[in-house]
Amino acid sequence: MNPYIEILRPGNALMGAISIVLVALIDKTFTLPVLLAMIAVFFETAAGNVINDYFDYNIDLINKPERPIPSGRISLKNGRNYGYLLFLAGTICGFLISYLTNNWIPFAIVLLADVVLYLYASKLKSTPLIGNLTVGFMTGFGFVFAGFSINNPNIIMTSIYLGFFAFVMTTAREIVKDIEDIEGDKADGAKTLPILIGEKKPAILAFILIIVDCALCPALYYYHIFNFYYLIIITIAVILFIYSAILILRNQDRRTASKVSKYLKIGMLIAFVSFIFGSL
């Protein structure tokens, strides 16, 4: 794969754009602002990935040496400039959305995302828990951005509900990833939660967040946001989430953390599918 495509982590960026699709499906609205919102989220997520790899060069030399920058396929300077270009592209999309809808909140959200994603990569990532919460916040923020881009008061409230669920589960996954990456983070002098207090307590926190999110999942059906199909499919995701929570609570070695991180990602994809079928 071309390193300039690989560094975007296109699958990850597309997952971010899916939040826009899901909210559009719920509202049954497909307009130019919705399309621009999808593109904006893709660019912003990709920009965050690229600038994160730029700042994580030393850590990735240990944890992910095959990535484009540590492997030497993209220079540090080109990686940084590529990230800036992607941020600019996302910001232009945000401006166009606000111009077309006469609502400047989407543009403000994109500008905030630019700042938060850069600060996360440069400073916040190595800050205990704050870095995890930032990633969770930005993931949930995608749903909120979709709601304001559609500019329908009813769908805005729904998008906030969905954003909260995404925020909680993503935060849990980020804590698990910190457990997985503890060796490289130590070598780079990072101060993540597992480094400061050990792996067990962060694992307990991740467990609690996962269980809380699972317990709240039926609320989206109860409040008539989704139909019965959602309830059937989300059950599969909940089972996988609970299994992952038990795994990380029992064992915090790197292999288990890696497995749990993947399971949580798959569970989130299944949850997205439940949102789609639940809105039919």
Residue 177, CA distances (Å) to 76, 80, 214 in order: 24, 24, 20
Would you give per-residue pLDDT tens digits along the chain (280 residues)?
Answer: 788 888 888 888 887 888 898 888 888 888 999 999 999 999 999 999 999 989 888 877 777 788 888 888 888 899 999 999 999 999 999 999 999 999 999 999 999 999 999 998 888 877 788 888 988 888 898 999 999 999 888 888 888 888 998 999 999 999 999 888 887 777 666 778 888 888 899 999 999 999 999 998 888 888 887 889 999 999 999 999 999 999 999 989 888 999 999 999 999 989 988 988 888 7
Which domains are present in the chain? 3-278 (1.10.600)
Tell me, what's the pLDDT at 67?
Answer: 87
User: Exposed (0-12), middle (13-18) or buried (19+): which is 157, by Cβ within 10 Å?
Assistant: exposed
20, 34 Cβ separation under 8 angstroms: yes
Tell me, what's the pLDDT at 6?
Answer: 87
**CA–CA gap between residue 102 and residue 73 (Å, rounded):** 43
**CA–CA gap between residue 69 and residue 78 (Å, rounded):** 9
Tell me, what's the pLDDT at 109?
Answer: 95
Cβ neighbours for 37, distance < 8 A, ≥ 6 positions apart: 20, 93, 97, 106, 145, 146, 149
DSSP state of 162: H
252: number of CA atoms within 13 Å, CB side? 21
Helix residue ranges per DSSP H, the chain: 3-6, 10-27, 32-55, 57-63, 76-101, 105-122, 130-150, 153-180, 182-187, 193-197, 200-216, 219-222, 228-250, 254-278
Residue 215, CA distances (Å) to 92, 202, 208, 225, 279 in order: 39, 20, 10, 16, 20
CB atoms within 10 A of CB 255: 9
Tell me, what's the pLDDT at 199?
Answer: 87
To the nearest 10°, report the CA torsion of 13, 17, 18, 19.
120
